[in-house]
A and B are shown apart, each in its own frame.
Chain A
């Protein structure tokens, strides 16, 4: 089970934003992060906890191992307002409940 926090947050353009994902048991670095905008499919941002998917801006970064993981947006841009999900990379994968990033 993956628990994301906070469920939602309000932030301004230029802010540093951190989202956390906690696993109920250790999962090494088998974690991915996705961004989803309204009406669109999720988009892969990061895999193996910290590897940036090709084409994803460098303001996104991921860290963590074991049970605690973070997604950081170093300087929030207007196009970053979206919902973010973590996912355990497993043969039976599952996702966190999401964190909605809204405009302050």
Chain B
């Protein structure tokens, strides 16, 4: 069974750093890109960026470029989303989701991680 299991909810203050994780299992990690999405109440999800586990090549949405970093640890089939300095406006639920290629649909998602910054 394909699973993407995300780390737990976080409560932070502005200016703090944070790294959340997405541990995958049930499939070949290198065969699927990992995407990160932000979801704020009452809006559609927003795509933040993706990483190719084969070579760690990353692509970011212009809206998030420079504010977050996506990385992986292939030894434990895990992807990460990291902030160096959180803002209150980063408060949201964050999802990881896999796709076969960059323009493919997201066929499996993590359960979401609530990040609260205040």
A residues with a Cβ closer than 8 A to B are 2, 30, 32, 34, 40-44, 47, 53, 85, 87, 89-98
B105 touches A92 (CB 8 A): no
B43 touches A42 (CB 8 A): no
Residues of B within 8 A of A91 (CB): 59, 102-103
A95→B105 CA distance, assembly (Å): 11
B residues with a Cβ closer than 8 A to A are 43-47, 59, 61-62, 95, 97, 102-107, 109-112
Residues of B within 8 A of A47 (CB): 104-105
Residues of A within 8 A of B104 (CB): 47, 89
Residue of B nearest to A94 (CB): B47
B109 touches A41 (CB 8 A): yes
Residue of B nearest to A45 (CB): B105
Residues of B within 8 A of A43 (CB): 109
Instruction: Please tell me which one of the listed residues B59, B103, B112 contacts residue A41 in the complex, with CB atoms under 8 A apart.
Output: B112
Residues of A within 8 A of B59 (CB): 91
Residues of A within 8 A of B44 (CB): 2, 85, 94-98
Other A-B contacts than A34-B106, A94-B47, 18 sampled, CB-CB below 8 A, are: A30-B103, A32-B105, A32-B106, A40-B111, A41-B109, A41-B110, A41-B112, A42-B45, A44-B107, A47-B104, A53-B107, A85-B44, A87-B106, A89-B104, A93-B103, A94-B44, A95-B44, A95-B46
Using A91-B59, A92-B61 as known contacts, say yes or no to A42 and B106 having CB atoms under 8 A apart: yes
